[in-house]
Chains A and B, each alone.
Chain A
Amino acid sequence: MTKKKTFLLAVVIPLLILLAMTIKPQATVLFGQEIVLETKAYDPTDLFRGDYVAINFAISDIPKSKVDLPITKINNKNLYVSLKQEGKYYVVDQVSETKPKQGVYLKGKFRERYNQFNGAGNFRVDYSLDKYFVEQGSGKDLEQESFKGGLVGTVKALGGYGVLTGIAPR
């Protein structure tokens, strides 16, 4: 390989990595099913990606009664959460180990969380949908809206992978 070609290769590899990063989320935005979820939010900052609104979806807290799997198969595991529409919003329907054959579902990492008041506790599920990036300084308005009465988030879901596409006042 000539010097020119190897140099070109060293330049193209990072570009390919960048392009590859966009494939899954872009496909989800284009072809995924849109779902609307209830949420609360506040407004911190990330050093490299800037201001964002931290989001806490209602579907991230799943009561233990909804999951009928042994605890060893839940904690710190990635499971599929099927969603069903109730009124305007989507809520948790059931949890499964394998990919559901139909319907809308998201993949998330489960963590056990004890409730010190009644001992029942629930599961905290991380769908990696906890940040919505906004222009610097504009996150405070959304935070205010959240205090007033909650926000709704729009998520595109495809094959268990979700991309947060927007948030708005209820």
Chain B
Amino acid sequence: MKRQISKANFSLVSTELDHYASNGLITGEQKSGILEIYEVKGGLNFIRVVVTIGALLVGLGILSFIASNWDGISHLVKLLIIFGVFGGVNLAGYMLSENNPKTGRSFIYLGTLVYGAGIFLIGQMYNFGGDFPTAFLLWSLGVLPMAFLLKDKYLMLFANLLFLVYLFGSYDIGFPYAGWVGVPVAYLAYNYFEKSRLLLFFANLTTLTFIFEITIRYKVEGLYVTLLFFLIGLVMYGVKHKLEPDIFRIQGNILFGVSGVILTMPELWKIVVNVQSTRLVSILFALAFVALLFALIRKGSLISLIFVCVTIFRYYTDTFAFLPKSLFFIVGGLLLLGFGYYFERMMKSSKGGNLRD
């Protein structure tokens, strides 16, 4: 079996091989021999994109038609139309799957949107009150069977996104008990759908959201919630394992970055120290946090660089007392410049001037 690589990587390999061949490092025969072992991975397919967007437009049109609540047709007739269209597009999707699989699949996608429109139509018919997060749970639930049957990771992704909307929508309304089932299902799906990294990313996101909802349910103080997510982020970033470490590192880095910036707000700390010292505690935390970020930047974490900038910007907009701020920023900046210069000299002397640039 040929080695599958992305189109961009293939073109990199091929230009580099051209370069070797023109320099006489390898022969033209060797070059084509090497290129033979690669195969461009199926990326975005134009037809698939066109038909999928087509299905998306029709689906959004139907959702919008339901939301317009047009009086010309009664609710019952609308419901029958929804049932008919849902059955029709799925039948069409099934029939087309043999000869026109891409168009067929887009009909199945359309079906999931029509199903969603049906849920909101029923909500409208009976004037369901409240914010109706259950709608997204039911929508997600209805998409799952087809996603698993067709092993379609994009349908699964859609189901997962709908579930996330349900989790977020339940905030402040009531505890989303379905999370106890939904979170395991998201990981089961990752395992079942050929270990798609995309699905793992969203499964992790679902878990984090659910943990957040649990902390809301038990009325955990803001400080502890943020500290918890800061720690989870550090663990996701730092603990070494075999399961898609890249995904965990990126998510962990963003998570502890965001919660770290939030923890630099003095107001959060008032539940553990008295009001006068909150500012001091938050600044001590900010210094430790920025030091940690610098250590990670040294290891090559670009995301940490972004959070250093966010933290600086957060302090820049914090106060309008310009004179103390000006002093703080100039002293801080000079310290960093000095450290940088010192380290550059130290590395140069230890490596005997090996660092040319």
A residues with CB within 8 A of B: 4, 6-7, 9-11, 13-15, 17-18, 21-22, 25-26, 29, 46-52, 126-136, 163-165
Contacts and interface: CB of A to CB of B under 8 A. Distances in A.
Nearest to A153: B127
14 contacts: A6-B149, A9-B149, A14-B142, A14-B145, A15-B86, A17-B138, A21-B122, A21-B138, A22-B79, A22-B125, A25-B122, A49-B124, A129-B129, A132-B127
Contacts of B90: 7, 11
B130 interface: yes
Contacts, number: 112
B83 interface: yes
A13 B139 CA distance: 11
Contacts of B199: none
Q: How large is the interface on B (under 10, 10 to 19, 20 to 34, 35 or more residues)?
A: 35 or more
Given A10-B149, A128-B128, A17 B142 contact: yes
B119 A21 contact: yes
Interface in B139-163: 141-143, 145-146, 149-150
A49 B142 contact: no
Given A7-B94, A128-B128, A46 B67 contact: yes
Interface string B70-87: 110000000100110011
A36 to B, nearest CB: 15
Contacts of B71: 135
B146 A129 contact: no
Q: 4 closest Cβ contacts across the A-B interface?
A: A14-B142, A128-B129, A25-B126, A50-B67
A131 B129 CA distance: 5
Given A21-B119, A128-B130, A134 B69 contact: yes
Given A11-B87, A15-B86, A130-B129, A49 B68 contact: no
A136 B69 contact: yes
B254 interface: no
Q: Which of A29, A133, A136, A165 has the most C-beta atoms of chain B within 10 angstroms of its own C-beta?
A: A133
B235 to A, nearest CB: 33
Interface of B: 63, 66-71, 79, 82-83, 86-87, 90, 94, 111-112, 115-116, 118-120, 122-130, 132, 135, 138, 141-143, 145-146, 149-150
A29 B126 CA distance: 9
Nearest to B134: A21
B67 A135 contact: no
Contact of B129 (A4, A29, A127): A127
Contacts of B126: 22, 25-26, 29, 163-164
A133 B122 contact: no
A50 B122 contact: no
A49 B149 contact: no
A163 B116 CA distance: 21
B130 A14 contact: no
Contacts of A48: 63, 66-67, 116, 120, 123, 135
B115 A14 contact: yes
Contacts of A25: 122, 125-126, 128
A47 B67 contact: yes
Contacts of A133: 69, 123-124, 127
B82 to A, nearest CB: 8
Nearest to A137: B68
Nearest to B116: A48
A18 B118 contact: yes
A136 B68 contact: yes
B75 to A, nearest CB: 10
B68 A10 contact: no
A15 B123 CA distance: 15
